[in-house]
Amino acid sequence: EGQLVQSGAEVKKPGASVKISCKVSGYTFTDYHIHWVQQVPGKGLEWVGFVDPEDGETMYAQKFQGRVTITADTSTDTAYMELSSLRSEDTAVYFCATIGGSDLTDWWGQGTLVTVSS
């Protein structure tokens, strides 16, 4: 079974950038896309984008286009999500997940809280 372990909580000032990581184990990293999902406190789930670790292909939700960069490092089996020009409304838990395949490979990280505050 796949495991996704994310980096720890971050506190950033408005206008800064944050880069959070998602290290996978238990399966071949290049077999499944890594998706990122945002959850603002008390709100629902929102898809941010994904990366295909095999070829680096990415796609982003329109809401985050231009501010988000998702990458994959096959040498360390780690995916990254960088969000720039942070604002208070980016305060949220961000999950990485392999949700594009079957029920057998639907795995989630534990989530990373990003707090944007002056």
Partner 1 sequence: SSELTQDPAVSVALGQTVRITCQGDSVMRYYVKWYQQKPGQAPLLVMSDTSNRPSGIPDRFSASSSGNTAVLTITGAQAEDEGDYYCNSRDSSGHPAIFGGGTKLTVL
Instruction: Provide the binding-site residues for partner 1, judged by CB under 8 A.
Output: 35, 37, 44-47, 50, 59, 61, 95, 97, 99-100, 102-104, 106, 108-111
DSSP state of 34: E
The least CB distance from residue 51 to partner 1, in Å, is 12
The least CB distance from residue 91 to partner 1, in Å, is 16
Measure the CA–CA gap between 17 and 15, rounded to whole angstroms: 7
The Cβ of residue 94 has, within 10 Å, a number of other Cβ atoms equal to 22
Choose between 110 and 117: whose C-beta lies nearer to partner 1.
Answer: 110
The least CB distance from residue 75 to partner 1, in Å, is 26
The least CB distance from residue 100 to partner 1, in Å, is 5
* Residue 32 structure tokens: 């499944």
Choose between 50 and 80: whose C-beta lies nearer to partner 1.
Answer: 50
For the chain, how big is the Rg over CA atoms in Å? 13
User: Among candidates 25, 22, 26, which has minimal Cα distance to 35?
Assistant: 22
Choose between 29 and 94: whose C-beta lies nearer to partner 1.
Answer: 94
